[in-house]
Amino acid sequence: MTMTPTVTLHSLPLNPGNFPTLSDALDYASLGETGCNFYSGRGKLAHVLSYKDLQIQAKNLAKKLNSLRLDRGARVALVADTNPDFIRFFFACQYAGLTPVPLPISLHLGGHQAYVTQLRRLLESCCPSVAMAPEGLVPYLEEASQGLGLSLIGGPEIFASLPEDESQLCPLAPHELAYIQYTSGSTRWPRGVEVTQAAVMTNLAGIIQNGLQVTAGDRCVSWLPFYHDMGLVGFVLGPIASQLSVDYLSTRDFAMRPRQWLSLMTKSQATISFSPSFGYELCVRRLGEESPEQFDLSHWRIAGVGAETIRAESLLRFSSTLGPSGFRQESFLACYGMAECSLAISFAPLGQGLDVDQVDGDCLSNEKEALPFIASLSSEENGRCSSFVNCGVPLPGYEVEIRDADGFALGIRKSGTIFVRGASIMSGYFNDPATTDEVLSADGWLNTGDIGYWIDDSLVIIGRSKDMIIINGRNIWPQDLEFLAEQQPEVRPGDSSAFSVSGPDGEEMAVMVIQCRDSDPQKREDLVKRLRALVYQELSIPCYIELIPPRSLPRTSSGKLSRSRAKIDFLSRVQWDVLAPMLSAS
């Protein structure tokens, strides 16, 4: 029998996310005929999971989990591969009163130890009672959880063989945690965002009703990882809360064959799909000479873009390249959000495409004021023009302030740190009150760490968590790079500074500047080589390492190392033509 994907249209009336909990949302979706569909990297439909079947299977699995007699709210760690098992387990936890914790899959060439170490740090952080991984990844999970006292670790089959507990299921209530979401922050110091049912349901309703204005007939496609807030909340929970069918491609398959995303959009006539800018870039880059007419993207109503700084020029390259496929530039929907707010904070207005604000870059750097860029007649007087994408008005019910360094709210076109308050803000970081206190005030304001400014009532984001390094869509924390440097006997704490710069070809690259006392050329070269290899091994990125004399890293007036100034210094002395050959293959 050939498999058929779940339908787009069905007779169940659309409820746009008005549910008290995730299990209520699934209970309602199970009355219809929609569901999720999983495609292989070569475009073949591999699994179909209707919401009706998902509900039955998740409840059944919940009873099996209950036979383990875990405490209410106990954590269930789930290695989040793009497959039906993850969704079954996630919802089994909802019905059983347990807290699912999606864990990342980061499998790189030669990266066995790095992945085990990463998993172990996450397990130590969330203290789960049980843990599940796809069968092939169980050995990693077992190795990572040695000595942590979990009561059961295994693949889906081990859990399926548990006896069913006969007692009544008692699903998670609105005030209880819906899940713990690890931020894409530092891998060394993981932070687990606690999101209650009430929080995620509020955010989902805002996304569905205001941000996307979902209607019957919408359909989603996603290749975003299930352990990422946009992949999980946006494209697993969102479709269930709005009873939409969704077609999945795994992240790895997308990265390998980006055009499968466009093929799937064509085949399923999906209307909603999101990606960081990098995903759109990758499509254009890898499409090469291929004809865009082979795709039909005319149904694509919302091409969402967020998760990293939005690069308008790469998106416009996508829309002009894919124009012949029927893709409309107006479909681009810029948005802003983060796991600490469940997912979304603001959306640009629908159907209008990108609104790019051009400002005087020098004035923004020096005066922290985003004044419109005005080209003067003589080109010598022209300053630097910086372009940023307008991310729209915050969702109803959310307060947003842009504050200066002293905490005062700023007016329009003044750049500062973005603070948010609203019903979907996290309760805190799991088991980490100190870090929670750093970002969440007693009266509910979240310091996002992001920098932006207002244009009237719309938010413009200048940069994400100001020091974050983003390479090929992956967030790399400078602290993680600096830690590796400081593990070397030649390097002391405070001797290194990591940041990213736009390389000669316009792509972001990681750079680490290190104060080095040693003058022996051989020893210096040895340090650079060793560190580069270590960075590859741990983070799978190339990193340019520069050694500078002691006491030459710039510090702020309060004596702290300044990564932004180290970056400016680096850019002022770097000679790209000397550097380029060294970077040519990386």
Contacts with other proteins by CB under 8 A lie at 41, 105, 107-112, 114-115, 134, 136-137, 140, 252, 255-257, 282, 471-472, 474, 532-533, 536-537, 540-542, 581, 584-586
- Give the nearer residue to other proteins in terms of CB position, either 378 or 584: 584
**Measured between alpha carbons, how far is residue 85 from residues 133, 166, 451, 505 in Å?**
9, 22, 38, 41
**Least distance to other proteins from the beta carbon of 314, Å?**
14
- Give the nearer residue to other proteins in terms of CB position, either 114 or 232: 114
**Least distance to other proteins from the beta carbon of 306, Å?**
20
Nearest to 70 by CA among 100, 103, 27: 100
Q: How far is CA 79 from the centre of its chain?
A: 16
- Give the nearer residue to other proteins in terms of CB position, either 255 or 568: 255
Tokens of 294: 């082979």
- Give the nearer residue to other proteins in terms of CB position, either 73 or 136: 136
Q: Which residues contact 408 (CB under 8 A, 6 or more apart)?
A: none
- Give the nearer residue to other proteins in terms of CB position, either 320 or 586: 586
- Give the nearer residue to other proteins in terms of CB position, either 136 or 396: 136
**Least distance to other proteins from the beta carbon of 318, Å?**
17
Q: What are phi and psi of 235, to 5 degrees?
A: -120, 0
CA-based end-to-end distance of the chain: 47
Q: With contact defined as beta carbons under 8 Å apart, do 23 and 94 qualify?
A: yes
Other CB atoms within 10 A of residue 192 CB: 22
Distance CA 251, CA 225 (A): 6
- Give the nearer residue to other proteins in terms of CB position, either 4 or 584: 584
Query: DSSP letters of 372-436?
Result: BP---SSGGG---EEEEEB--EEPTT-EEEEE-TTSPBP-TTB-EEEEEESTTS-SEETT-HHHH
**Least distance to other proteins from the beta carbon of 509, Å?**
9
Nearest to 359 by CA among 344, 347, 374: 374
**Least distance to other proteins from the beta carbon of 578, Å?**
15
- Give the nearer residue to other proteins in terms of CB position, either 288 or 489: 288
**Least distance to other proteins from the beta carbon of 286, Å?**
8
Q: Which residues contact 401 (CB under 8 A, 6 or more apart)?
A: 409, 410, 418, 419, 445
Q: Which residues contact 43 (CB under 8 A, 6 or more apart)?
A: 260, 263, 264, 267
Q: With contact defined as beta carbons under 8 Å apart, do 251 and 244 qualify?
A: no
**Least distance to other proteins from the beta carbon of 84, Å?**
17
**Least distance to other proteins from the beta carbon of 457, Å?**
38
